[in-house]
Amino acid sequence: MKSLFIVMDSLNRHYLPCYGPSWLKTPNLDRLAARSIVFDNHYAGSLPCMPARREMMTGRHSFLETPWGPIEPWDVCLPPLLRGDAAGERTAGDRAAGDRAVGAKPVYTHMITDHYHYFHAGGEGYHTLFDSWEFERGQEGDVWRPVVDAPPIPETRGKGAARGAYWRNRSMMDPQDDLSYPTPRCFERAIEFVDLNADAENWHLHLEVFDPHEPFDCPDRYRELYDDDWDRYLYSWPDYAPLDPKLDDAEAVAHIRKSYAGTLSMADHWLGKLLDRFDELGLWEDTQVILTTDHGHLLGEHGYWAKNYMFDYNELAHIPLMIARPGVAPGRCAALTQTIDLMPTLLDTFGVDV
């Protein structure tokens, strides 16, 4: 058995056509949903980003112990268990030949991500759990591009206005070139992985893309899908705050929603390239695919932008989940599920009993 686990950050359930009427263009998410069990009552447990990921790795509620934080020394985690470490604690470099989990066959684990919080203080210990990992640079405030003379900043509003690293990264992005953006490069790395390992057995690919997380930057062709004629100033990264009644009028809200949609359509397009490769290589016959998110993102609903400081409305906590599993017919599942259910599901996929 093989496994592909996809996390698309800030993926709003209520914007997806597979969950109801939507004006967004996501043909490849629709395509994956059509061959999956689509879960109608799946909820985040801990949020935002790192607490949700700790739940994915440990199968335990993170909010009961810590807020945003690293993998803790006592955490029993998915990649070591798949690899065969019965304690679920060792990093790839520390693993031993013995001490296998009951019923386990060693599973090779690989992470591809552009989520730079893994590499900041407070997000340590996640990527080193895997046998190997790749990090695509340049999202949000990732301190990456060494541009000594700060690029000019256009008239702008929102969180990005004072973030020098963001503007340095953005200055190197070509709005005509998908691969100058991190999310397409993550999908390209995933395609390379499945090309290289299509005939291998027992692997788990953990693929994360930061988009459609803000800032809502993408090549022009994806913006053009949504006929956005906003021209007041650059506005792609709203503050985590209530809508400003003087500035966030209906036109501004529509612009941000269309910007989110363009970023999601970019991610969807590159998801399609990966699904195409699954078709070409016949990977659906022996590979389980799970796609989900960490949380939603308010785009003006309830009078708010973003997350974290308001009530956990359904738009934030009621999240998408779809699972395509060999031999299991597609359909809908009404059962209540949570982020903590993902880790034991993956253990079950590979017959690991702990």
* 218 found inside a domain: yes
pLDDT at 150: 84
Instruction: Tell me the DSSP string of 212-279.
Output: TSSS----HHHHGGGT----SSB-SS--SSB--TTT--HHHHHHHHHHHHHHHHHHHHHHHHHHHHHH
Domain membership flag for residue 44? yes
- Interatomic CA distance for residues 56 and 33, integer angstroms: 21
Q: Within 13 A of 162's CA, how many CA atoms are on the CB side?
A: 2
Q: Kind and range of the H or E element at 292?
A: strand 287-292
Q: Is residue 285 part of a domain?
A: yes
Domain that holds residue 77: 2-349
pLDDT score of 98 = 40
Average pLDDT per block of 10 residues along the chain, 354 residues long: 98 97 96 99 95 97 90 95 76 49 75 96 94 97 91 89 88 96 99 98 98 97 96 94 94 98 98 99 98 98 93 95 98 98 97 88
Residue 354 lies in a domain: no
- Inside any domain, residue 132: yes
pLDDT of residue 96: 45
Please report whether residue 114 resides in a domain. Answer: yes
What CATH number is attached to the domain comprising 202? 3.40.720.10
Provide the pLDDT for residue 282. Answer: 98
DSSP H or E run through 288: strand 287-292
Give how many domains the chain has, as a whole number.
Answer: 1
For tokens 């997806």, name the residue: 16
Nearest-angstrom CA–CA distance, 320 and 301: 18
- Residue whose C-alpha is closest to residue 53's, from 313, 293, 337: 293
How far, CA to CA in Å, does 321 sit from each of 111, 332, 333, 344, 354? 19, 11, 10, 15, 24
* pLDDT at residue 87, rounded to an integer: 63
Scanning the structure block, which residue is given the tokens 């803000």?
Answer: 214
